[in-house]
């Protein structure tokens, strides 16, 4: 994906603004990027690159927190805009969301600052009329903050979708599959802050823990993975010397366990068919003789390459390829970590819930089927095919695999060796991790052996 553009429409106006913090301008511009189709993470990383660590953390809290609460914030704002927010410019709606989130969820922000600066940005981007509306709406929210009355829908699905700011169609699917109580726990999990988990590389977990604690980094145990380390919130990676030294990388246990579940033989030649940003390839490199890291995005592969250099790995080889048409000879192990809806990682990517459409399930399922078919052709007889997603949806997971096995009797589902992964993560031979019960991102994997 190409980098989001610098804001040009608003840039001349921004120079005229007095007293508006750079962080609030960045937040507004990231919102504009997302409306243009860019993803939150790359837009945020690009625009925040020159900002100090403390301001970076503040901006991240504002943006990610606003997105996790967007549906509820919209209801609050809509009740206080004559005619509703549907009639407003989408950029102005985002400014109101950012202002309202500062007022209602960021206790460290003085009300006068949240209001005055949001009003100034609205004036610069949309004129005096928009600034007056912004001022009136935010001041009313501030006056009524202790008794905000948002009408709760009578329908239980609608009520959950509003309370936890998720698309109704997705909430409905989860309630139907797991029931109200479990679905509510999943929604609560998605609205909490995603943990930062360190994976040691070229160093033992114990030695890394000692180094981090010596550097003043607060740590705790990571869920599911004994050798991973949870890093305390509010710490920027660029502030941690051990990160620059290349003795760890960041990876949620859900991704780590996909490779543990793969349980590949030592000395294997491995193809990671959808590799970037590379976390699973780094894990595979611990046992593999060589890992070929294919991805269709040259930009994402460049980021993978920079991490390879930082970690000092010399047997990973990135190359550009399309998983639907790979030009590779058969190898011992193929990992098809396929593109998916990502419904298991909505905590980590709060913008994703607002991009997803129910039709994406059909689109992704078709793409996954194509990649799985090609990946299977690249596995040597006796070798392993590992299929994985970060989705919770059966159409992308077990239904995809059961359909594949029905058409390909020369592959069979094979569970890994005893102790490869925690037993609670195995479900019918598949790896299945659920955020609301296991404390990690959601993920799914199938380990298939080619028998003929």
DSSP state of 420: S
Q: What is the mean pLDDT of the chain?
A: 93
Mean pLDDT of 427-441: 97
Nearest to 397 by CA among 336, 352, 349, 348: 336
Mean pLDDT of 249-277: 96
The string over 405-430, giving b where at least 16 C-beta atoms fall within 10 Å of a residue's C-beta and e elsewhere, is eeeeeebeeeebeeebbbeebeeebb
User: pLDDT-based confidence at 363, cuts 50/70/90?
Assistant: very high
Q: Note the pLDDT of residue 18.
A: 57
Q: What is the rounded distance in angstroms from the CA atom of residue 397 to the CA atom of residue 340?
A: 10
Over residues 215-226, the pLDDT tens digits come to: 999 999 999 999
The tokens for 160 are 């959950």
The tokens for 145 are 């903050």
Mean pLDDT of 284-310: 92
pLDDT at 194 over 60: yes
Residues paired with 219 in a beta bridge = 231
Q: What is the rounded distance in angstroms from the CA atom of residue 93 to the CA atom of residue 13?
A: 19
The tokens for 172 are 């409905």
∠ Cα 263 253 238 (to 5°) = 120
Q: Between residues 400 and 302, which one has the greater pLDDT?
A: 400
Q: Note the pLDDT of residue 17.
A: 59
Over residues 68-84, the pLDDT tens digits come to: 999 999 999 999 999 99
Over residues 133-155, the pLDDT tens digits come to: 999 999 999 999 988 888 899 99
Over residues 229-249, the pLDDT tens digits come to: 999 887 788 789 999 999 999
SS3 content of the chain, % helix, strand, coil (to 5): 50, 15, 35
Query: Rg of the chain's alpha carbons, rounded to an integer?
Result: 23
The string over 5-44, giving b where at least 16 C-beta atoms fall within 10 Å of a residue's C-beta and e elsewhere, is eebeebeeebeebeebeebbbbbbbbbbbbeeebebebbb
Q: What is the rounded distance in angstroms from the CA atom of residue 348 to the CA atom of residue 342?
A: 10
Over residues 59-72, the pLDDT tens digits come to: 999 999 999 999 99
DSSP 255-286: HHHHHHHH-PPTT-EEEETT-TT-HHHHHHTT
pLDDT at 49 over 90: no
Q: Note the pLDDT of residue 278.
A: 85
The tokens for 257 are 């366990």
Over residues 287-298, the pLDDT tens digits come to: 999 999 998 888
Over residues 90-145, the pLDDT tens digits come to: 999 999 999 999 999 999 899 999 999 999 999 999 999 999 999 999 999 999 99
Query: How much is the pTM?
Result: 0.92
Q: What is the rounded distance in angstroms from the CA atom of residue 15 to the CA atom of residue 31?
A: 19
């Amino acid at each position: 994906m190409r980098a989001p553009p610098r804001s040009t429409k608003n840039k001349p106006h921004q120079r005229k603004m007095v007293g508006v913090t750079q962080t609030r301008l960045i937040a507004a511009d990231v919102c504009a990027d997302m409306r243009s189709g860019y993803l939150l993470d790359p837009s945020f990383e690009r625009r925040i690159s020159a900002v100090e660590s403390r301001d970076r953390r503040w901006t991240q809290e504002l943006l990610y927190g606003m997105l996790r609460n967007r549906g509820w914030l919209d209801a609050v704002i809509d009740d206080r805009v004559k005619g509703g927010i549907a009639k407003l410019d989408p950029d102005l709606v985002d400014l109101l969301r950012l202002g309202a989130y500062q007022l209602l969820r960021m206790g460290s922000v003085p009300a006068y600052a949240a209001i005055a600066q949001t009003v100034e940005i609205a004036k610069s981007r949309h004129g005096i009329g928009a600034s007056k509306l912004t001022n009136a709406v935010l001041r009313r929210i501030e006056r009524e903050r202790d008794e905000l009355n948002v009408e709760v829908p009578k329908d239980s699905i609608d009520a959950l979708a509003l309370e936890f700011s998720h698309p109704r169609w997705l909430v409905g699917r989860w309630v139907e599959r797991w029931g109200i109580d479990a679905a509510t726990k999943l929604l609560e999990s998605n609205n909490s802050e995603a943990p930062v988990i360190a994976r040691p590389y070229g160093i033992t977990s114990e030695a890394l823990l000692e180094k981090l604690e010596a550097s003043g980094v607060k740590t705790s145990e990571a869920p599911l993975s004994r050798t991973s380390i949870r890093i305390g919130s509010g710490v920027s990676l660029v502030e941690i010397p051990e990160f620059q030294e290349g003795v760890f990388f960041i990876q949620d246990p859900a991704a780590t366990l996909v490779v543990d579940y793969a349980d590949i033989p030592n000395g294997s030649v491995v193809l990671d068919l959808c590799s970037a940003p590379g976390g699973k390839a780094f894990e595979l490199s611990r046992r593999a003789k060589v890992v070929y890291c294919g991805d269709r995005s040259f930009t994402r592969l460049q980021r993978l390459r920079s991490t390879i250099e930082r970690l000092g790995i010399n047997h990973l080889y990135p190359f550009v390829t399309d998983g639907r048409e790979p030009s590779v000879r058969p190898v011992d192990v193929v990992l098809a970590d396929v593109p998916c809806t990502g419904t298991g990682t909505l905590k980590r990517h709060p913008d994703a819930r607002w991009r997803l459409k129910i039709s994406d399930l059909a689109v992704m399922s078709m793409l996954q089927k194509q990649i799985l078919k090609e990946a299977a052709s690249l596995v040597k007889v006796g070798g392993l095919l590992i299929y994985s997603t970060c989705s919770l949806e059966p159409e992308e997971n077990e239904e995809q695999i059961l359909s594949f096995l029905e058409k390909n009797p020369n592959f069979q589902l094979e569970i890994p060796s005893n102790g490869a992964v925690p037993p609670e993560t195995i479900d019918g031979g598949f790896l299945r991790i659920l955020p609301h019960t296991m404390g990690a991102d959601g993920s799914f994997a199938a380990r298939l052996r080619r028998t003929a």
